[in-house]
Structure 1
Amino acid sequence: MSTALVVCAHPDDVDFGAAGTVASWTSAGDEVVYCVVTSGDAGGHPGAVREAEQRAAAEAVGVAQVVFLGYPDGRVTASLDLRRDIARVIRQVRPDRVLTWSPEINWDQVATTHPDHRAVGEATFAAVYPDARNPHAHPELLAEGLQPWSVPELWLADGPAGLRNRAVDVTAHFERKLAALAAHVTQTGGNPDLPAQLRAHFTEVGQRHGIDGQAEEFQVVDTR
């Protein structure tokens, strides 16, 4: 059994981009923890509502722990404070892999390249290397009793298409992905066509990788 940490900017990010992969990990017995940087309150709904939706979505794919960092939605920067707070969670969870969003622009699908996504990706990359593993970075974490931790593998979602080097067959878990997205009523409840649209999109991703079904794709980086 291994442990994975998913770090994303908003409630529902992980469910659109990676919930099938998360479901495949939890089905294999892996533990997965979510760290959500904002509560999504800039979308017109209270943060408490969005947080409750994310917890329900996490439960649909077998994730029991969701950490919210409380940063302002729409105003996230890759600050030293954010790097420290993500490094704190890494040292607490001690994951074998971290999944986050690419800090690069995906010019083929700009709608996925929200500035918050890229800022969280940049801060998470810095938290993975070098902050979480460096005993001299953020000394307050040592004072909290959190020892350094080296994450050997970083998964990046929604990066430039040419950099994606890993496809995950999520066909057997696609209904759980849809259930997770359905939990985000404030975001998906007004689009009855969304399941069919997503099935078509992720089937196309699968076809590109020779998978007969749905797939999610990532850029996987060795950070050892």
Structure 2
Amino acid sequence: MPVENGPERALVVMAHPDDADFSCAGTVATWTHAGVGVTYLMVTDGDAGGDDRTGDGVDMATTRRAEQSAAAELVGVRDVRFLGYPDGRLMPSLELRRDIARVIRQVRPHRMIIPSPDRDWSHIAPSHPDHLATGEAAINAVYPDARNPHAHPELASENLAPWVVPEVWLVHGSAPNHYCDITDVIEQKIGALAAHASQISDISELDAALREWLGKNAAAGGLGEDRLAEVFQIVNTA
């Protein structure tokens, strides 16, 4: 599907609550403004997050589910799903592939955003092992699992027909090839990040750093020094 042809439905698969808001919430806001139906799928509840938390992992998971739902609402996403895998212990298992493939067959997206499964040695933070595992499981769920009628027979027994996702947008891909201008929706992105109060203590400090980073992205993409952009590697998966 050409980039200029907007999808009817999109699916964003991320490891933790707040991953989508850091990586692609601005892009998602531009899509929902254009009438695209977007679903968020969070593989974990983020139960291991929060350096200064006072409760246990169950309390944190409950908090982070609520924060992610509120953040999604701010960028026009009302379908937010959680698989409930343990935070910090993800593996790209057949079970995880099946569970992502199930949601692909349910949502039937024309475009997906997922983490890159490749480690970035120049900047280690995006290469959290949960991100890598989610990216590996998600791309395998796209190809071949979701489209193969014989993969995961239990999905067929749930009357979920195979589905081909035409394109996948990788976050932190090794060969970025698309810069999405989010200048007009930056306040929505910042608002979505601010909803994650258990993880972000100073949104004003993050705001400044984020605008600098997004501005560098826009300049690298030739959009102009006064613009802000999120960056992706678009992969044809048709």
Aligning the two structures, in what range does the TM-score lie when normalised by the shorter sequence?
over 0.9
Q: Which amino acid aligns with 2:200?
A: T
Q: Over residues 136-186 of structure 1, what are the superposed CA-to-partner deviations in whole Å (9 max), with x where a residue is unaligned? A: 0000000011000000001100122xx111110111111100000000001
Percent pairwise identity = 56
Query: Counterpart of 2:56?
Result: none
Query: Counterpart of 2:31?
Result: 25
Task: Tell me the secondary structure at the aligned position of residue 43 of structure 2.
Answer: strand
Q: Over residues 4-23 of structure 1, what are the superposed CA-to-partner deviations in whole Å (9 max), with x where a residue is unaligned? A: 00000000000001000000
1:7 to 10, 13, 18: 13
Q: Which amino acid aligns with 1:86?
A: I
Q: Which amino acid aligns with 2:34?
A: A
- 2:165 corresponds to 1:151: yes
Task: Tell me the secondary structure at the aligned position of residue 68 of structure 1.
Answer: strand
- The TM-score with structure 2 as length reference comes to 0.91
Q: Over residues 64-114 of structure 1, what are the superposed CA-to-partner deviations in whole Å (9 max), with x where a residue is unaligned? A: 010000000000000000000000000000000111000001122111110
Q: Over residues 31-71 of structure 1, what are the superposed CA-to-partner deviations in whole Å (9 max), with x where a residue is unaligned? A: 10000000001014510000000000000000001000000
Q: How well do the aligned residues superpose, as a CA RMSD in angstroms?
A: 0.9
Q: Distance in 2 between matches of 1:121 and 1:113?
A: 10
Query: Counterpart of 2:134?
Result: 120
Q: Which amino acid aligns with 1:85?
A: D
- 2:58 corresponds to 1:52: no
Query: Counterpart of 2:84?
Result: 70
How far does residue 211 in structure 1 lie from its aligned partner after superposition? Answer: 1.2
- 2:106 corresponds to 1:92: yes
Q: Distance in 1 between matches of 2:201 and 2:163?
A: 40
How far does residue 191 in structure 1 lie from its aligned partner after superposition? Answer: 4.8
Q: Distance in 2 between matches of 1:191 and 1:17?
A: 16
- 2:217 corresponds to 1:211: no
Counting matched residue pairs gives 222
